[in-house]
Structure 1
Amino acid sequence: MQALDKDTTPEENQNPADATPGANVETTPNLEEMIRLAEQKAEEHHDAWLRAKAESENVRRRAQDDIAKASKFAIERFAGELLAVKDSLEAGLATENPSVESLKSGTELTLKQLVAAFEKSGLKEVNPVGEKFDPNFHQAISMIEAEQEPNTVVSVLQKGYLIADRVLRPALVVVAKAKA
């Protein structure tokens, strides 16, 4: 048997092997408590996952709406610029007894407005007379013998147009060929 220490209580002097079951405080949680905590954490994670999934769905839906609106209204600025051109044409047609000179000056003014609208919208004219033929920007209609260097644009039948360096319409051209 153990000798009793004066400064300790009888319970502290007991041999751990002599202790009765249930006398010690349990240091590990019981199985039911562990399951309850695991279920609680699983529920929290599931809730967080559902929220994240819903948020990503909302972001995707908003992005699709933004893309749809952007494509639907992309031409809005250009259309606004063309309204002045249309107004000028209508004003010219509304004139009673127009002279040839007034029609010509009105047409020139309208063309200037149209060119300004094109410039503001990034629409560039391709008029390649005298340049080397480039199939990326030009469409050859025919080839003729000319004094110019072979594969050079001799004349332009229809101007081409670019939008931000992308071909909207290639220039229709006649190209010089080598003399026989």
Structure 2
Amino acid sequence: MTDTSQDLREETAEGAPELAEHDGHAARLADLEEQLAATRQEVLYAQAETQNVRRRAEKEAVDARAYAATSFARDVLSVSDNLERALASIPAELRGDDKFKGLVAGLDATGRELAAIFTRNGIARVVSIGEMLDPNKHQAMMEMPSDQPPGTIVQEMQPGYTIKDRLLRPALVAVARAG
């Protein structure tokens, strides 16, 4: 029995390093698989973040192109307002006078050209008179007695404008008073 137990001990001693080595490889393989899964997840997150950054940059570039003229357009609105006031202040008898026909025609042509430029650049006038007050487009400056329903715009002191879908300047208006 001594020989058999000796043989058994030798076989066990010989197999133990192989078994231990196999367990070590299995543990190392499991560790590497976990690292690979974590790395794959990180790569997916990085790709998603890169795609989000790209989309944001594209949207910002589109917005920048669409609204690049916003501050310039605000400045030009005062020129448009002054031109409209100048045309409105010309009395009818001067409009018919031969001496002033050229001046009036030139001012009218300038007003039409300015309106065409506004249209080409997506600048539109806000509709006000007869509309209900919309705080997103109108700024109420005063209330006036009127036969219109309360909150209806009855007078426009200064026109409002939008550029594309954004408000460029609110319309300054008077609204009908309740009661």
**Distance (Å, rounded) in 1 between the aligned partners of 2:23 and 2:178:** 91
Query: Hey, what does 2:59 align to over in structure 1?
Result: 70
SS at match of 2:121: helix
- Where relative contact order (Cα < 8 A, 6+ residues apart) is larger, the structure is 2
State, as a whole percentage, how many aligned pairs show the same letter: 27
Are residues 1:37 and 2:26 paired? yes
**Distance (Å, rounded) in 1 between the aligned partners of 2:135 and 2:59:** 32
The residue type equivalent to 1:46 in the other structure is Q
**Distance (Å, rounded) in 2 between the aligned partners of 1:78 and 1:167:** 11
| Maintained 8 Å contact 1:129/1:154 | yes
Deviation at 1:30, TM superposition (A): 1.7
1:56-67 superposed matches below 5 A: 56-67=45-56
Superposed CA deviations along residues 45-73 of structure 1, whole A, max 9, x for unmatched, are 31342243144224314422442343244
Gaps of 5+ in 1: 1-19, 87-98
Q: Radius of gyration: which is bigger?
A: 1
Q: 93, 114, 119: which one pairs with 1:115?
A: 119
Which protein has the bigger helix share? 2
Query: Hey, what does 1:125 align to over in structure 2?
Result: 125
How big is the alpha-carbon RMSD for the aligned residues of Structure 1 and Structure 2? 3.8
Deviation at 1:141, TM superposition (A): 0.1
| Maintained 8 Å contact 1:138/1:172 | yes
CA 1:149–1:79: 2 relative to 1, 3 Å: same
CA 1:163–1:31: 2 relative to 1, 3 Å: farther
The residue type equivalent to 2:146 in the other structure is A
The residue type equivalent to 1:115 in the other structure is T
CA 1:124–1:111: 2 relative to 1, 3 Å: closer
SS at match of 1:134: coil
SS at match of 2:143: strand
| Maintained 8 Å contact 2:140/2:175 | yes
**Distance (Å, rounded) in 2 between the aligned partners of 1:148 and 1:154:** 8
1:87-106 superposed matches below 5 A: 100=103, 101-106=105-110
**Distance (Å, rounded) in 2 between the aligned partners of 1:77 and 1:43:** 51
Query: Hey, what does 2:86 align to over in structure 1?
Result: none
| Maintained 8 Å contact 1:129/1:153 | yes
| Maintained 8 Å contact 1:127/1:156 | no
CA 1:63–1:161: 2 relative to 1, 3 Å: same
CA 1:76–1:142: 2 relative to 1, 3 Å: same
CA 1:136–1:76: 2 relative to 1, 3 Å: closer
Number of residues of Structure 1 aligned to a counterpart in Structure 2: 138
**Distance (Å, rounded) in 2 between the aligned partners of 1:168 and 1:104:** 24
CA 1:109–1:130: 2 relative to 1, 3 Å: same
Deviation at 1:176, TM superposition (A): 1.8
